Structure 1
Amino acid sequence: MSQPTPRFALNHMICPRLSVSELIEGAAQLGLKAVELRNDVGGNSIQTLDQAKEAGRLARERGIEILSINALYPFNIWNDERAEQAGNLAQLVDACGGHGLVLCPLVDADHGASEHEKRAGLKDALAALDRILGRYDLQGFVEPLGFPISSLRTKQEAVDAIRELGMTHRFSLVHDTFHHAGAGEQALFPESTGLVHISGVEDESINFDTMLDEHRLLVGPRDRLDSVGQVQQLLAAGYDQYISFEPFAPAVCNLDDPFTAIQGSMDEIRRKLTA
């Protein structure tokens, strides 16, 4: 059986200095069909309905899908403020013609909730988000963060909560190759995954418990996360959605020509997948 072909996309974190139009144009020039927008890239963030509508117009002109706005944080600490944020972001995703909203959990060493309280908070948040996202028929992309101080570290926890609530129609996982390695999780859950974020780590002076966003590069030949191996397993198990580049390292985000580097990373991933 031949190896399924990966479908790549660009997360705006690849270069926060790019405008939305430059991001979309760069994706089109690379032959890609999808991007993720963000609400945390300074002046290039999607924050108003007018900005969202214009992003949607530009994307449609270039034949580009908008996968998500990234992100509602911390989605699992539910209160009136979070409900308002979620409602506003859902409106923006709808206005740009996006598919869904990325949901990131609290990362805080001082968060003193018990495991029972964390599970209850997660389910309360998902139930509330189902109502909000359902107004626009949007997907919630739940992204467990593998840092040791994360309040939702594994995909297993997220899958259990989603299934217990009977909300698999509304929520799917983000499999992030960085956070998967950081959490030390083995299970992949391809059938529950709606989006993949891919990056690489090459610094040999750190371990998976101490690596941070600033270490996240484009995937190259010295990647320590086995990101390509993760993707290969997901594809072989039937995953057929997008694989979105999401490096955070300043060495990538500040490149004058990020698209040449992205092309090189895509070539490296494809080479390894077919080796």
Structure 2
Amino acid sequence: MPSLRFALNHMAAPSLPIQDLFALAGSLGIDAVEIRNDLAGNAIIDGTSPGAVAKAARHHGMTILSINALQRFNEWNARRADEALTLIEYAKACGAQALVLVPKNDGTGRADGERQDNLRQSLAALKPMLDTAGIIGLVEPLGFEICSLRSKREAATAIDALSARSTFKLVHDTFHHHLAGEGQLFPDMTGLVHISGVNDPAVSVADMRDPHRVLVTADDRLDNAGQVRALVEAGYAGRFSFEPFAAEVHDLKDPASALRASMGYLSASV
């Protein structure tokens, strides 16, 4: 079994300035990161220029895998087009390889037929924008019952309908994969894997939310180890990016030790 290739999403340590995030990754032997546009007081939302991000990444030897994320991407309108263009231009200027695309998650747009049409419309509009910039679109279905795109199969079908595998890849998020209950893996269409665990023994699967998402340990209820093993055995050779949302992780005084332990657990389990 090949060794796992890890990455660090800024959500793993959202209070760290972006240069410190890069330094943290480097201290763990990780050379790839995901930056975010939803962290108040931090890059990108604080006005940090893409050039400054690119310079910091070069200094620390980091590859920027993605900007996370264009929200409500499958609700296409003039505002969304403007948001997409701004993020795609930032991605290109800072050297990011991809832009994560997150569907609307408010209970709307879920009707059969409607959601597929909305998805195809958005992907068709995004394709030339992404292709011009040389940026990959990473489509991330969310497993929540209220989400307008829960299924990776639906996303894959829409991508293939546009003959757009060179533009779009899937995000396999271990949390959302478990919540969606979708058994099929799409290793050949997967561009990135997000990893996080849920240890709380009391919460039901239907009630699991982002604040439950911790680093993966032996107490994990989502079978991250099994999911990672299955992806690797099926041919996925990309990155496994830590994306915990729990306050208990964000408040850690020594995130490096906790991340190193989780990396060790997953490597040994796979």
* Deviation sequence 1:25-76 (CA, Å, 0-9, x none): 1111111110000001111131488522111111112211000000000100
Equivalent of 2:186 in 185, 189, 212: 189
Equivalent of 1:31 in 25, 29, 32: 29
Equivalent of 1:212 in 202, 206, 209: 209
2:142 corresponds in structure 1 to 145
1:205 is matched by which residue type in structure 2? A
Structure 1 ranges of 4+ moved more than 4 A: none
Partners of 1:242 and 1:141 in 2: how far apart? 13
Shift of 1:156: 0.5
1:180 maps to 2:177: yes
Q: Do the aligned partners of 1:47 and 1:92 also contact (CA within 8 Å) in 2?
A: no
Normalising by structure 2, what TM-score? Answer: 0.97
Shift of 1:135: 1.8
Q: Do the aligned partners of 1:49 and 1:95 also contact (CA within 8 Å) in 2?
A: no
2:129 is matched by which residue type in structure 1? I
2:53 corresponds in structure 1 to 55
Pair 112,130 (structure 1): closer, same or farther in 2 beyond 3 Å: closer
1:176 is matched by which residue type in structure 2? D
2:72 corresponds in structure 1 to 74
Q: Do the aligned partners of 1:71 and 1:103 also contact (CA within 8 Å) in 2?
A: yes
Q: Which runs of 5+ in 1 are unaligned?
A: none
Equivalent of 1:7 in 5, 9, 31: 5
Partners of 1:215 and 1:45 in 2: how far apart? 25
* Deviation sequence 1:228-252 (CA, Å, 0-9, x none): 1101011111111110000000000
Q: What is the SS of the residue equivalent to 1:161? A: helix
Partners of 2:46 and 2:159 in 1: how far apart? 30
Equivalent of 1:91 in 89, 94, 103: 89
1:239 is matched by which residue type in structure 2? Y
Partners of 2:158 and 2:184 in 1: how far apart? 16
1:168 maps to 2:170: no
Q: Do the aligned partners of 2:110 and 2:147 also contact (CA within 8 Å) in 1?
A: no
Shift of 1:195: 0.2
Q: Do the aligned partners of 1:146 and 1:181 also contact (CA within 8 Å) in 2?
A: yes
1:120 corresponds in structure 2 to 117
Q: Do the aligned partners of 2:38 and 2:45 also contact (CA within 8 Å) in 1?
A: no
Q: Which runs of 5+ in 2 are unaligned?
A: none
Partners of 2:131 and 2:48 in 1: how far apart? 22
Partners of 2:264 and 2:49 in 1: how far apart? 33
1:270 maps to 2:254: no
Q: Do the aligned partners of 2:12 and 2:244 also contact (CA within 8 Å) in 1?
A: yes
Q: What is the SS of the residue equivalent to 2:232? A: helix
1:159 maps to 2:156: yes
* Deviation sequence 1:163-208 (CA, Å, 0-9, x none): 0111011000000000000000100100000000000001111222
* Deviation sequence 1:64-121 (CA, Å, 0-9, x none): 1000000000100000000000000001111110101000001113x15521111000
Shift of 1:15: 1.5
Q: What is the SS of the residue equivalent to 2:176? A: helix
Q: Do the aligned partners of 2:109 and 2:115 also contact (CA within 8 Å) in 1?
A: no
Identify which range, 143-152 or 205-214, moves more after superposition: 205-214
Aligned pair count? Answer: 270
1:108 corresponds in structure 2 to 106
Q: Percent identity?
A: 48
Q: Do the aligned partners of 1:198 and 1:219 also contact (CA within 8 Å) in 2?
A: yes
